[in-house]
């Protein structure tokens, strides 16, 4: 069995996990959550094996680099980090229903990686700009931040859905949304997840600047990817600052989590295909 087969199995396992989480939410069957978590953990393990095997295959080909160097590999790793962060949140807060709003992102990422014709799935030699010891540090820090913001966006959607129900003054115990955590709980988890993502994105920008200096002789060149990374950073910086200084919370933070996610997606994906620059190799 090769890495592509393992990653293909991962895609279907994430789909099954998504269906279990959604079914738990819709039918309010709490014991189904154990199966959903179990399948999600198994999928993460299979994906980890797939990434490890792809790394080993690159050495067999005489190339030998981490599976983080093209768009296909980055999308797969993006899905991996989403699930890893989600499972950590579930373990810490003991709230499985978040999976109905977070795991679908990982499935969609894996489905896109499997079905898209816009990216190559081949293991290729590194272009000169990527031949650096900073590669793994920069990619991992950025994608942990991206994944945390993705989960925060899912939590933002959850908050808005719950808030809509509460504003209608319906009895939570008698509605579908009664299985969701309370609004203060969702807001607290969203805030903590955004802080976590902000710290890692900051680390990603710093490692990227150091890498840029060694590769191109300058820490910052206002490349489109760099510019949009800074825009995304400011969106979350303003959100967190406003929460601390002006007490922003509730719907404002939920909407900003969602807006920030779209900025993340454009920074990560849109820039590579729409805007040309020093990071254009990422679309190969």
- Per the CB < 8 A criterion, the answer to whether 85 and 45 are in contact is no
Residue 200 pLDDT > 60: yes
CA-CA distance, 248 to 232, in Å (whole number)? 19
Q: What percent of the chain has pLDDT over 90?
A: 64
- Confirm if 166 and 263 have CB atoms less than 8 A apart: no
- Residue 174's pLDDT is 56
At residue 170, the pLDDT reads 52
Least confident range from 73-77, 164-168, 183-187: namely 164-168
Give the per-residue pLDDT at 128: 75
CB 194 within 8 A of CB 258: no
For residues 56 and 61, give the distance between their C-alpha atoms in angstroms, rounded to a whole number.
Answer: 9
Q: What's the pLDDT band for 284 if we cut at 50, 70, 90?
A: very low
Distance CA 8, CA 11 (A): 5
Going by the DSSP 8-state scheme, the letter that residue 178 receives in this structure is G
Contact 106, 172 (CB under 8 A): no
| Tokens describing residue 190 | 């969203």
pLDDT per position as a tens digit, 127-169: 777 778 888 999 999 999 999 999 999 999 999 999 887 665 5
Which pTM does this prediction carry? 0.93
Q: Does residue 125 register a pLDDT over 90?
A: no
Tens digit of each residue's pLDDT (9 = 90 or more) over 103-115: 999 999 999 999 9
Write down the mean pLDDT value for the chain.
89
pLDDT of 30 reads 84
Range of lowest pLDDT (133-142, 194-203, 215-224, 259-268):
215-224
Please indicate whether residue 190 or residue 2 has the higher confidence score (pLDDT): 190
Residue of 78 and 279 predicted with greater confidence: 78
Residues 21, 22, 23, 28: is their CA dihedral positive or negative?
positive
Q: What is the pLDDT of residue 256?
A: 96
Q: Is the pLDDT of residue 176 over 80?
A: no
Higher pLDDT, residue 120 or 183: 183
pLDDT at res. 133: 82
């Amino acid at each position: 069995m090769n890495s592509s087969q393992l990653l293909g199995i991962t895609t279907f396992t994430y789909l099954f996990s998504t269906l279990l989480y959604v079914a738990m939410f819709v039918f309010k069957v709490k014991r189904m959550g154990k199966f959903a978590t179990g399948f999600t953990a198994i999928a993460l393990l299979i994906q980890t094996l797939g990434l490890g095997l792809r790394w080993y295959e690159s050495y067999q080909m005489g190339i030998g680099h981490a599976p983080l160097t093209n768009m296909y590999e980055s999308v797969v790793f993006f899905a991996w980090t989403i699930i890893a962060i989600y499972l950590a949140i579930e373990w810490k807060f003991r709230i499985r229903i978040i999976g109905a709003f977070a795991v679908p992102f990982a499935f969609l990422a894996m489905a896109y990686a499997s079905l898209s014709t816009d990216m190559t799935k081949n293991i290729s030699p590194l272009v000169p700009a990527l031949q650096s010891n900073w590669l793994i540090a920069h990619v991992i820090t950025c994608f942990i931040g991206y994944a945390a913001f993705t989960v925060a966006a899912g939590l933002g959607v959850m908050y808005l859905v719950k808030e809509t129900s509460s504003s209608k003054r319906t009895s939570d115990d008698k509605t579908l949304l009664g299985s969701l955590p309370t609004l203060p709980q969702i807001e607290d988890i969203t805030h903590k997840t955004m802080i976590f993502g902000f710290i890692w994105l900051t680390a990603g920008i710093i490692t990227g600047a150091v890498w840029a200096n060694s590769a191109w002789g300058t820490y910052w060149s206002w490349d489109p990817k760099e510019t949009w990374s800074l825009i995304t950073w400011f969106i979350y910086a303003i959100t967190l600052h406003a929460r601390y200084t002006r007490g922003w919370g509730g719907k404002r933070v939920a909407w900003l989590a969602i807006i920030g996610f779209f900025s993340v997606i454009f920074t990560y994906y849109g820039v590579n295909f729409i805007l040309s620059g020093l990071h254009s190799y990422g679309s190969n």
